[in-house]
Amino acid sequence: MINLPQTIKAIIMDVDGTLLDSLSVWADADREFLAKRNIAYDPQVSQALKSLHFVSASQYLIDYYSLTDSLETVCGEIADIVRQRYFHEIPLKEGVLEFIEQCRRNDICLCAATSNSRELAEGALSANGIINSLRFVITSDEVGSDKSSPDIFLKCAERLGAGISQTAVFEDSPHAAYTAKEAGFYVVGVNNGDSGDFSKLSEYADFCIDSFSELCKENSVV
């Protein structure tokens, strides 16, 4: 049985790969985008794009594949592909609904902090029926920095009315988990299906889970 500390009163949830089973969505969208141009997708690109913001990732594709398309065109086409999946196809990770209910019963407030766009994050969270279980959703764009900076986590804690020592951060990204841990947050690493990421998470997080179901056992949150 895994226990969160009794001092935890608030939780900051990452969205992609943590709440949502969306790890492959962006790579699939890039693959579909390139296939329309008869370009073979290089799987190594996925690793390079993982830590990049959407616009930066689109520019990377242009540069890597020497595309003649404008940045606006690339962003628009990929966004359309991704939007369809986020609004209609992406499921929650296993055990998320049960864990959210357990947090509600224990008066632990939740929010979401994402590097994704508000439109896509809220679209998927709404489609899966959990948007109203979150106090708010905040994006890296709105804070003005990505998760290599603790600003988004600090802003969340402030808005939740919780101290850093009272707040847990759930992340599937090693670099984001490292940032949160260095800032003093309690960090839970979530397996997104990438064994390399999960191995790295174990170095930075206070503990790691394969599934939220591990936290839904009786008295696992106290």
Check if the beta carbon of residue 112 is closer than 8 Å to that of residue 125: yes
Regarding beta strands 186-190 and 137-139, do their DSSP bridges make them parallel or antiparallel, or are they unpaired? unpaired
To the nearest 10 degrees (0 to 180), the angle between helices 71-88 and 54-64 is 120
Q: Over the stretch 124-146, which tens digit does the pLDDT of each residue have? A: 999 999 999 999 999 998 999 98
pLDDT in tens, 152-164: 999 999 999 999 9
Note the pLDDT of residue 128. 97
| 8 Å CB contact between 194 and 47 | no
Task: Answer with the residue of higher pLDDT: 23 or 29.
Answer: 29
pTM of the model: 0.86
If we measure between CA atoms, which residue out of 144, 145, 201 comes closest to residue 177? 201
Domains and CATH numbers, the chain: 10-22+91-215 (3.40.50.1000), 25-88 (1.10.150)
Mean pLDDT of 108-119: 94
**In this structure, are residues 173 and 3 in contact, taking their beta carbons and an 8 Å threshold?**
no
Interval 186-216: pLDDT, tens: 999 999 988 888 899 999 999 999 999 998 8
Q: Which residue has the tokens 């850093």?
A: 164
pLDDT band at 12 (very low <50, low <70, confident <90, very high): very high
The mean per-residue pLDDT over the stretch 2-18 comes to 91
Take residue 52 and report the two structure tokens written for it: 């990049």
% of the chain surpassing 70 pLDDT: 96
Question: Is the pLDDT reported for residue 220 higher than 70?
Answer: no
Residue pair 182/150 in contact (Cβ under 8 Å)? The answer is yes
How far apart, in whole angstroms, are the C-alpha atoms of residue 44 and residue 48? 7
Q: Residue 116 above 90 pLDDT?
A: no
- Using pLDDT thresholds of 50, 70 and 90, give the confidence band for residue 2: low
| 162-174: average pLDDT | 96
**Where does the pLDDT of residue 218 fall: very low under 50, low under 70, confident under 90, or very high at 90 and above?**
low
Spatial distance between the Cα atoms of 122 and 149, rounded to a whole number of angstroms: 23
Which pLDDT score is estimated for 27?
85
Residue 203, pLDDT score: 92
Going through 127-185 in order, the beta strands assigned E by DSSP cover 137-139, 167-171
pLDDT of residue 92: 97
Average pLDDT over residues 1-15: 87
Decide if pLDDT at 46 tops 90. no
The residue with tokens 């696992």 is 220
215-219 LR contacts (CB < 8 Å, sep 24+)? 215/2, 215/4, 215/95, 215/99, 215/102, 216/95, 216/98, 216/99, 216/102, 217/1, 219/1, 219/3
Type and span of the H or E element at 10: strand 10-13
Beta carbons of 22 and 90 less than 8 angstroms apart: yes
pLDDT at 1: 38
